[in-house]
């Protein structure tokens, strides 16, 4: 039986993750309380069960353990794990707030996630190293042939030759004999069926520029009965480099050569889901802190607690952004003026502290909740300053294609801008975001923002 061990990867992955999760939960309980007898008793028994239930639902919905061999890499494994962890933490945080479970230990929760992340990462990296070495030595291989000889066919063979750790073993080209491919073929189209059966071929790559559609139909129709996969090779490389995309009109694939920014599932759905969960958790768990900040803001200077200002969001749509007030009232009665940094005499002493730690920005989680902003994205500006920026740097318009955020690369690397030239300098950092945005990149920006807040280095 071919690949008799491959079917064990999925259940093994599930079992190890559940073992790691439960060992981490109990181990964290011991680290915190120096005993484990009460972990099976209320209230932790229900909390323990919830941990497992959420992880099971994530597995059933997200299906995180399904990886093609081409994507079985450290980056993809860690990315999937971090997505699962972020969702799990967010749901647990919402549950904590909903049931007012302040009797649960925060330290226990922190230790649990640290231990589980360590064990899960160790298993994934270890499995990856083992499988790559195992396959490179010739075990657990997929046998493949290429139908239709040409440059594209040679490219896919060279790719797998350069990556033996993927475990693909080449068994020959098939095409109609010609002067160009003479002596290079294993056989013709007529020899395909017998050869696939004889050699237990797993995968048939069909090169669309060279193969006759009549034979392609036969290959596809016989795939299920002969238990092999059919993969089509179409050379879109020149088009995709210019920002093209594949659309589906019913079942018909259409190549879109426009250069418009692609709004894919990850950005539109996963990012918005993360924003909602993160903002709910931040507003819920941070409420005691927000009350303290609001109280100090109220009693350290005259004026309202919150400051609302019109900013420009995605697509040029204006919205109201909310902050804790850090300046004296009527600081802009003469018109829009940029802050002169922390030494600006319009900033209150308490406001100076909030700006250095970025705590004045936390009410913007409400903007995230209602959809005006994202947790991570280019900082929104006022139309008055956008008009001046565009005159110097027209590329700023590209930032209006993505939702603005509470924190950004520009906020981390540069901070607050006190004039148009500094805004343009900060823009150079923010322009990197639309090209590199991903879940892991967002997590990195959030981590860097927390570091800046903790160090009080907000400029």
More confident residue, 251 or 228: 228
Name the token pair of 275: 């924003």
Question: Is the same domain home to 292 and 333?
Answer: yes
Question: Is the same domain home to 11 and 120?
Answer: yes
Question: Is the same domain home to 315 and 409?
Answer: yes
pLDDT for 235 equals 67
Is 108's pLDDT higher than 50?
Answer: yes
Question: Is the same domain home to 218 and 366?
Answer: no
The answer to pTM > 0.85 is no
The answer as to whether 259 is a domain residue is no
Question: Is the same domain home to 27 and 102?
Answer: yes
Question: Is the same domain home to 112 and 165?
Answer: no
What is the bridge-based pairing of β-strands 245-249 and 252-256?
antiparallel
pLDDT for 272 equals 87
Question: Is the same domain home to 146 and 91?
Answer: no
Question: Is the same domain home to 123 and 157?
Answer: no
pLDDT per residue as tens digits for the range 364-378: 999 999 999 999 988
Task: Single out the residue in 107, 136, 165 at which a domain terminates.
Answer: 136
Residue 364: give the domain boundaries: 265-455
Average predicted confidence (pLDDT) for the chain: 83
The answer as to whether 342 is a domain residue is yes
3-state SS string over 215-227? HHHHHHHHHHHHC
pLDDT for 7 equals 61
Question: Is the same domain home to 148 and 281?
Answer: no
The answer as to whether 102 is a domain residue is yes
Task: Single out the residue in 77, 103, 136 at which a domain terminates.
Answer: 136
Residue for token pair 């200077």: 301
Task: Single out the residue in 88, 111, 136 at which a domain terminates.
Answer: 136
At 397, the pLDDT band (50, 70, 90 cuts) reads: confident
pLDDT per residue as tens digits for the range 132-174: 888 778 787 889 999 988 888 888 888 888 888 888 889 999 9
Is 121's pLDDT higher than 50?
Answer: yes
Residue for token pair 């659309």: 247
pLDDT for 242 equals 45
Alpha carbon of residue 168 to chain centroid: 28
Question: Is the same domain home to 119 and 163?
Answer: no
- In the chain, how many domains are there? 3
Alpha carbon of residue 257 to chain centroid: 26
More confident residue, 404 or 421: 404
Per-range mean pLDDT, top range of 3-7, 147-151, 183-187, 360-364: 360-364
Question: Is the same domain home to 296 and 340?
Answer: yes
- Give percent above pLDDT 70 in the chain: 85
The answer as to whether 253 is a domain residue is no
The answer as to whether 243 is a domain residue is no
The answer as to whether 246 is a domain residue is no
pLDDT for 85 equals 92
Per-range mean pLDDT, top range of 108-122, 197-211, 225-239: 108-122
The answer as to whether 241 is a domain residue is no
The answer as to whether 69 is a domain residue is yes
Return the H-helix or E-strand segment holding 231.
strand 229-233
55 vs 120: CA distance, rounded Å: 13
At 27, the pLDDT band (50, 70, 90 cuts) reads: very high
Question: Is the same domain home to 298 and 408?
Answer: yes
């Amino acid at each position: 039986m071919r690949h008799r061990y491959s079917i064990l990867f999925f259940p093994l992955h599930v079992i190890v993750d559940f073992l790691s999760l439960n060992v981490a939960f109990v181990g964290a309980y011991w680290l915190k309380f120096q005993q484990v007898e009460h972990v099976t008793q209320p209230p932790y028994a229900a909390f323990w069960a919830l941990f497992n239930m959420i992880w099971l639902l994530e597995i059933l919905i997200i299906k995180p353990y399904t990886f093609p061999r081409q994507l079985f890499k450290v980056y993809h494994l860690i990315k999937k794990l971090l997505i699962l962890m972020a969702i799990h933490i967010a749901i647990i945080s919402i549950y904590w707030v909903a049931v007012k479970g302040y009797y649960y230990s925060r330290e226990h929760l922190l230790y649990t996630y640290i231990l589980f992340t360590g064990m899960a990462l160790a298993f994934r990296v270890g499995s990856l190293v083992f499988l790559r070495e195992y396959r490179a030595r010739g075990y657990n291989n997929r046998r493949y042939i290429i139908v239709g000889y040409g440059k594209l066919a040679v490219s896919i063979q060279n790719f797998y030759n350069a990556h033996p750790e993927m475990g693909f073993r080449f068994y020959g080209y098939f095409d109609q004999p010609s002067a160009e491919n003479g002596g290079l073929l294993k056989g013709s189209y007529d020899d395909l069926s017998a050869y696939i059966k004889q050699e237990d071929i797993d995968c048939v790559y069909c090169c669309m520029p060279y193969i006759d559609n009549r034979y392609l139909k036969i290959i596809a129709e016989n795939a299920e009965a002969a238990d092999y996969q059919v993969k089509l090779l179409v050379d879109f490389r020149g088009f995709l480099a210019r920002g093209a995309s594949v659309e589906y009109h019913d079942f018909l694939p259409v190549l879109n050569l426009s250069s418009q920014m692609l709004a894919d599932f990850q950005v539109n759905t996963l990012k918005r889901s993360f924003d909602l969960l993160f903002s709910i958790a931040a507003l819920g768990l941070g409420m005691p802190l927000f009350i303290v900040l609001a109280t100090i803001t109220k009693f350290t200077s005259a004026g309202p607690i919150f400051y609302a200002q019109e900013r420009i969001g995605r697509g040029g749509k204006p919205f109201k952004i909310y902050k804790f007030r850090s300046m004296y009232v009527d600081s802009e009665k003469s018109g829009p003026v940029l802050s002169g940094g922390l030494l600006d005499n319009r900033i209150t002493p308490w406001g100076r502290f909030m700006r250095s730690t970025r705590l004045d920005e936390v009410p913007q989680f409400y903007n995230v909740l209602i959809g005006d902003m994202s947790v991570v994205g280019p900082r929104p500006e006022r139309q008055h300053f956008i008009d001046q920026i565009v005159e110097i740097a027209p590329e700023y318009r590209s930032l209006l294609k993505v939702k603005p955020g509470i924190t950004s690369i520009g906020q981390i690397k540069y901070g607050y801008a006190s004039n148009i030239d500094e805004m343009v300098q900060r823009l150079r950092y923010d322009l990197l975001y639309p090209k590199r945005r991903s879940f892991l990149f967002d997590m990195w920006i959030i981590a860097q923002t927390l570091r800046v807040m903790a160090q009080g280095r907000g400029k």
